[in-house]
Structure 1
């Protein structure tokens, strides 16, 4: 028997071509009447960047900037979801019955996606990839590629070339 999809985690990298992945996540959520969580992970600063910032502002100033930045990202996600809804969903369909939830996490993307997927008991993780050549995945590795190896949940990887953002 196939597992029901009750909860879908869409991990967005916020690229200019990421709408295709969100479209797939929305389609699956609508079809299965599943809960949809839109997640974005903010990667940690490198040591050099952190030292540079610390030399120009106090920790309190940095925390205030960080909080403001997270709110800006949350607003951008909300705008993208609204724009997507207006442009791609039937006029009689609204997310009002089951609107996507927004999660913004900080840390290493693979670790945070896996943690949140477990926390919300996601049945499926949907994400895009910009890395298509085998050589580039061997040399660098993409978050999507790593998720295929480390996730204990199904991962649907959607190629993201040539689409609009979401």
Structure 2
């Protein structure tokens, strides 16, 4: 039987920077500390160029420009999260991607041999009141990597 420490040497924390997605952060930090894991911090911007309505209103050039702006904003926010929230974590990596959110999470997990994905059950998508976030559900159903889904309304435990 494989030792847990070896299995969880890389943790993926996908975030959309919402308070809901931040609910997973204390657990990410705790698990990374316990297993001396590297944290992969990921933000995915939804592909806008596939949104035909938006393409019709703005045109491809403007949509591409908007995607680049959103990516730059995502990179800036990831730096902020790393500097403020992961300051005591010795190993972390940041990445911003554009595409289908769940598919990109799964790709990053596969490409980086991630041992555990920790994510909130709800981000700030258009329909937050469903029992389970659609991105989280898609990741759980299609992942080869174990996924730990953290309820967005979880209260952090203090010792």
Query: In the aligned structure 1, how far is the partner of 2:36 from the partner of 2:16?
Result: 24
Greater relative contact order: 1 or 2 (C-alpha under 8 angstroms, separation 6 or more)?
1
* 1:90-123 Cα shifts (integer Å, max 9, x gaps): xxxx33x32x211111111121111110000001
Query: In the aligned structure 1, how far is the partner of 2:14 from the partner of 2:86?
Result: 18
Query: In the aligned structure 2, how far is the partner of 1:124 from the partner of 1:72?
Result: 26
> Which residue, 96, 100, 111 being the options, matches 2:103?
111
In the alignment, structure 1 segments of 5+ residues that lack a partner are 87-93
In the alignment, structure 2 segments of 5+ residues that lack a partner are 124-128
Is 1:50 matched up with 2:51? no
Is 1:78 matched up with 2:79? yes
Query: In the aligned structure 2, how far is the partner of 1:112 from the partner of 1:150?
Result: 12
- Equivalent position of 2:37 in the other structure: 34
- Equivalent position of 2:130 in the other structure: 136
Question: Larger Cα Rg: Structure 1 or Structure 2?
Answer: 1
Cα deviation for residue 72 of structure 1 reads 1.7
- Equivalent position of 1:157 in the other structure: 149
Aligned length, in residue pairs = 145
> Is the Cα–Cα contact under 8 Å of residues 17 and 162 in structure 1 kept in the other structure?
no
Query: In the aligned structure 1, how far is the partner of 2:113 from the partner of 2:72?
Result: 25
Cα deviation for residue 82 of structure 1 reads 2.2
- Equivalent position of 1:90 in the other structure: none
C-alpha spacing 1:121/1:65, structure 2 compared with 1 (3 Å): same
> Which residue, 6, 9, 19 being the options, matches 1:6?
9
Secondary structure, counterpart of 1:30 in structure 2: helix
Question: Could you tell me the TM-score, scaled by structure 1's length?
Answer: 0.75
C-alpha RMSD of matched pairs (Å): 2.4
- Equivalent position of 2:126 in the other structure: none
Query: In the aligned structure 2, how far is the partner of 1:35 from the partner of 1:162?
Result: 24
